Amino acid sequence: MSLTLDALIVLTSFAYASLAPYTKVEESFNLHATHDVLMYGVGPTNLPKYDHFTFSGPLPRTFIGAVVLAWATQLCLNAGEWMGVSAGKFDAQVVLRLVLASINAIGLCLLRRAVSRRFGRLTSVMFALLSCTQFHLPFWMGRTLPNMFALLPVNVALCLMLDRAPNSTRPSPGAVRGALALLTFATVVFRSELLLLVGPVALQSAFQYLPLLDVIKTGLLAGSASVALTVAVDSYFWQQWPLWPELYSLYFNVVRGKSSEWGVMPFHVYVSSFLPKLLLSSLPLSLFACLIDRRIRAIMAPYAAFVALISGLGHKEWRFVIYTVPAFNVAAARGATWLVGRRKGTLFGRLCFLAVMGMLAANCVATSLLARSSFANYPGGAALSAFNKFFEHEDYLHVHISNLAAQTGASLFLQSHASPHLSLPSVQDSVYAHKNWTYDKTEGLSLADLTADTRITHLIAEADALPSSRSWTRVASVDGFDGWRLNLDVRLAGLTKVLEMKKSEKLVILKRAV
């Protein structure tokens, strides 16, 4: 049973990475950093070829996650090559996403096993079912957001605090120190907002589990080592000395208040909107568990404090609180176990069991809709993939990729015919070795500018911003998700079509007219 549950967690994340292989702009830094480490290596002479020097963005980000992910991906690609399985450039993107999904799935599997020891086997079953029937966590844990690199140490830290006997009153001192060290590392290297979680966990540890001096020493040692690591690695890759990306991010977003330029939301949004979407049925189940089990209250106290503290920041995004989802799922699993454990011979017991089954079914329905809409929401990736197939026999072309296409999936891994070709042997493709294609993402060019530049032979352009022009011939178009339409005019046989997906043309592929 244990291996089956672990396989369910891993395969769920694999399914999302395979069915939605393209990426969005918020994933692009780590995705392209991983691409560059894979393609060019980490030698100093190759650093000028890296994408972040051309499209650096407003903030530097750490390369530590990208380097580790690239090395792990290269091992998988080399193993595939050894077994005679050839991989193209875009295949490497899918593989790296599967690798990242595996890493985060391992973290959830470790946490599930800790839940089994602490609360029993049935609770671990409920934890796996609740986690896999949600949408956001399984869908995103194979995506190269910096938050997903921070997720593993945060989950392992929670695992260390949980992994003990049911009647144990406190975790071991070594487990607490390990948890604090991992949270400190994730904060210093990957996501500075985790400082708002480290604080409550440290306070809880100092009051209940460790002497205050031990907590301080652990934080200082882990923090110093983490700072040294990120400064050494990132100063090299960004060619700035000294550079601590997350400290710069904290100064830029909080001290200078620049995060507010991305939008400000009310204090209550995490509780009233983001967490209900992230947790689905786990939200009411976790609140119920807090009422019936003091062990759950002890687990949830730092995470509740984290949500309250981060709500004080004006700029809010669901991914800033994604780290709380596994903890809420632990609590929800305990609540669900209590409900299904009532005697089935009574009306109350049967109603409790049906309530839990209904919540899991509701999760599946909501997740199905969210997944279907997400699969159709990467027109840039679909357009560039189609473009590569349409013109695969061309030896020379120069395609301009619009901003929308670049933001919705047209990643460097899809530039499969670019010259110079890849330096990674396991993704070489001799069929395309002679091609000389240019993928151009220059921003701010009008149609007149593109037409005047005779080097440009093709366009992937935004459909709603494209006036008619005799200079360009339409080759194909790509639709994207617009929303859902309620269709009440259906017969009984067509109930599955009550909700219809709305799509519209997002991008067009154009060829210069002869």
- In a shared domain, residues 167 and 154: yes
- The predicted pLDDT at position 428 comes to 45
* Residue 251, C-beta contacts closer than 8 angstroms, at least 6 positions apart: none
Q: Residues 6 or more apart from 170 whose CB is under 8 A from it?
A: 208, 209
- Alpha carbon distance 145, 109 (integer Å): 21
Backbone torsion region of residue 57, taken as left when φ is above 0, otherwise alpha when ψ lies between -120 and 50, otherwise beta? left
What is the number of domains present in the chain?
A: 2
Phi, psi of 510 (to 5 degrees): -120, 150
Amino acid at site 232: A
Same domain as 422, residue 275: no
Retrieve residue 195's tokens: 């400082």
Q: CB 368: neighbour CB atoms within 10 A?
A: 12
Q: Please indicate, yes or no, whether residues 328 and 464 belong to a single structural domain of this protein.
A: no
Residues 255 and 274 in one domain: yes
Give kind and range of the element (H or E) at residue 474.
Answer: strand 472-486
Kindly write down the DSSP assignment for every residue of 199-259, as one continuous string: HHHHHHHHHHTS-HHHHHHHHHHHHHHHHHHHHHHHHHHHT-SS--HHHHHHIIIIIS-GG
Nearest to 472 by CA among 481, 459, 454, 486: 459
Tell me: do 422 and 466 sit in the same domain: yes
pTM: 0.92
**413 and 337 assigned to the same domain:** no
The pLDDT score that the predictor gives to residue 496 is 56
**Cβ proximity of 379 and 505 under 8 Å:** no
Can you name the residues that pair with 345 across neighbouring β-strands?
A: none
Select from 326, 5, 289, 356 the least CA-distant residue to 151: 326
Look at the alpha carbons of 163, 169, 173, 177 in this order and tell me if their dihedral is positive or negative: positive
Residues 86 and 160 in one domain: yes
User: Which of residues 375, 398, 432 is at a domain's end?
Assistant: 375
Please check whether residues 362 and 505 belong to one and the same domain.
Answer: no
Residue 378 pLDDT: 94
Q: Within this chain, do residues 365 and 383 fall inside the same structural domain, yes or no?
A: no
- The answer to whether 480 and 503 are in contact (CB under 8 A) is yes
The whole-angstrom separation of Cα 31 and Cα 210 is: 40
Instruction: Answer yes or no: do 270 and 410 share one domain.
Output: no
E-strand spans in 312-415?
Answer: 396-401
- Residue that is last in its domain, among 326, 354, 375: 375
Give the range of the structural domain holding residue 287, as residue numbers without chain letter: 2-375
Shared domain for 160 and 97, answered yes or no, is: yes
Strands 396-401 and 436-440: parallel
State the CATH number of the domain containing residue 396.
3.40.190
Tokens of 420: 């110079």
Residue 494: its pLDDT value, please?
53
Pair 283, 246: CB distance under 8 Å: no
Q: Each residue's pLDDT tens digit in the chain (514 positions)?
A: 789 999 999 999 999 999 999 999 899 999 999 999 998 999 998 999 898 888 777 789 999 999 999 999 999 998 888 887 777 888 999 999 999 999 999 999 999 999 999 999 999 999 999 999 999 999 999 999 999 999 999 999 999 999 998 988 899 999 999 999 999 999 999 999 999 999 999 999 999 999 999 999 999 999 999 999 999 999 999 998 999 998 988 887 777 666 676 778 899 999 999 999 999 999 999 999 999 999 999 999 999 999 999 999 888 999 999 999 999 999 999 999 999 998 888 999 999 999 999 999 999 999 999 999 999 999 999 999 999 999 888 888 999 999 999 999 999 999 988 754 444 444 444 444 456 888 998 888 888 888 888 899 999 998 877 666 778 888 899 999 888 888 776 554 455 567 788 888 999 999 988 7
Same domain, 370 and 392: no
Which of the listed residues 330, 353, 375 is the one where a domain comes to its end?
Answer: 375
